[in-house]
Every structure is written in structure tokens, then in C-alpha cells.
Amino acid sequence: MQNIIVGLRGAQVVLAIIILGLTGWVVNRTRGYSDETNFLLFDSIWTFVIAVPYLVLSPLYLQKFAHKYALIAVEAVTLLFWFAGFIAVAAVLPPSSVCKHSSVCKGLQAATVFGAFE
């Protein structure tokens, strides 16, 4: 069971890095204009810097810090962050017919899709 959890956390980190790249590029192109995009950028950093290391390493090596309610709380906060982030970005995106020639818009669409899978 532990191998499955570590594999899923690894996939979570890979998706977070993909979203970090996409949203970082969009933030660079738009000079940080969109709060929604900035929040999705924060979500990816939160996931692979705080949430996944805590959720994977604390039960294995730091049992004193792996309280069951703390693990549930970190998991729930991460879930809410991702849900709010991808919904917020999806709400401000124009229809796909408008995004045909805008690479920033296409990048946000891709980040939104990956955020939904996260």
C-alpha cells in the first residue's frame, strides 16, 4: 500500500512541476497581472515544497509529527487550494475559439486542465 501512495505522490509532484512551468511562464508573460494565475502558481509550489514532503516523509521518518489529524488537514487544505485555483483560472478564461492565436491563453488552458487532474 505504501508503494502506491508514494507513486501517487510522485505523480502529484510531476503534475505540480508541469503546472509550475506553465503558470510561471504565463506570470512572466503577463507580468503577474492575474491573481488567479498567481494563486495556481502558489498551489504548485505549496504541493511540492510543503504538502508532498510532509505527507510522504513524516509517516516514514518523523512519526512524532505525523498526527492523523495533521495529515488529514494538510491533505484537505491542498485539495481546497487546487480546487479553488483551477476553478478560479477556468472562470476567467475566454472561450477556446478566442484563444486560437494567444499562447498565453493556451498556456492557461493547459494549466487549468492539469490543475483539475491535480
The amino acid at residue 20 is L
- What domains does the chain contain, in order, with CATH numbers? 2-117 (1.20.120)
**All three cell numbers of 60:** 516514514
Long-range contacts of 68-74 (CB under 8 A, 24+ apart): 74/50
Give the per-residue pLDDT at 22. Answer: 94
Measured in degrees and rounded to the nearest 5, phi and psi for residue 110 equal -65, -40
**CA-to-CA distance for 2 and 85, rounded, in angstroms?**
29
Q: Please check whether residue 70 is in contact with residue 53, taking contact to mean a CB–CB distance below 8 angstroms.
A: no
pLDDT in tens, 22-61: 999 999 998 878 899 999 999 999 998 999 988 888 887 8
**CA-to-CA distance for 76 and 91, rounded, in angstroms?**
22
pLDDT in tens, 76-111: 999 999 999 999 999 998 888 888 888 888 999 999
Per-residue DSSP letters for 21-54? HHHHHHHHHHTT--HHHHHHHHHHHHIIIIIHHH
